[in-house]
Amino acid sequence: MRLNSYKLFAIGFVALAGVSFGVAASNHVDTVKVEKASVYNVHSTYANRQNINIEGKIVAYLGNGTYKFADVDGKTISLNLDDSFDWSQVQKDELISLNAVVVKDFITPKLLGKSAVAI
């Protein structure tokens, strides 16, 4: 009988722990850490699909929905724009703070711009 009592206690404890964890997990708010970045760090440090914030300018249209973005140090990288954001307020050569995702699917990394504000 004791063995069964211990099993029931253990099962009850695990179930209670699971409920407690479930409550704690359900109250958790997911936040995305966004790091200040530079084009140099995009090439050397950041992982594929990492969220970053980078300051700079859109300096040229390269065609096929791709732009050239230059950070405040003048280093450039290809940038594609997410269609879910209204990019009409962003002007060429205007200093912006760009929220983007690093894309390292090919040989050369690029950015997928999610949103931007003038600074």
Residue 47's domain is classified under what CATH number? 2.40.50.200
Predicted TM-score of the model (pTM): 0.70
- Residue 33: per-residue pLDDT: 54
Range of the domain at 58: 35-118
Looking at the structure of the chain, the number of domains it has is 2
Residue 82: what are its φ and ψ, rounded to 5°?
A: -70, 130
CA distance 119 to 117: 6
Q: Are residues 50 and 105 in the same domain?
A: yes
Within this chain, do residues 62 and 111 fall inside the same structural domain, yes or no?
Answer: yes
Same-domain status, 67 and 103: yes
Q: With a cut of 90, say whether residue 9 has pLDDT above it.
A: no
Residues 67 and 108 in one domain: yes
Do 62 and 114 fall within a single domain?
yes
Asked if the model's pLDDT at residue 11 lies above 50, the reply is no
Q: Which of these, 107, 119, 6, lies nearest to 55 by C-alpha position?
A: 119
Q: Does residue 26 sit in the same domain as residue 51?
A: no
Check whether 34 has a pLDDT greater than 80: no
Tell me which residue of 44, 39, 40 sits closest to 59, measured CA to CA.
Answer: 39
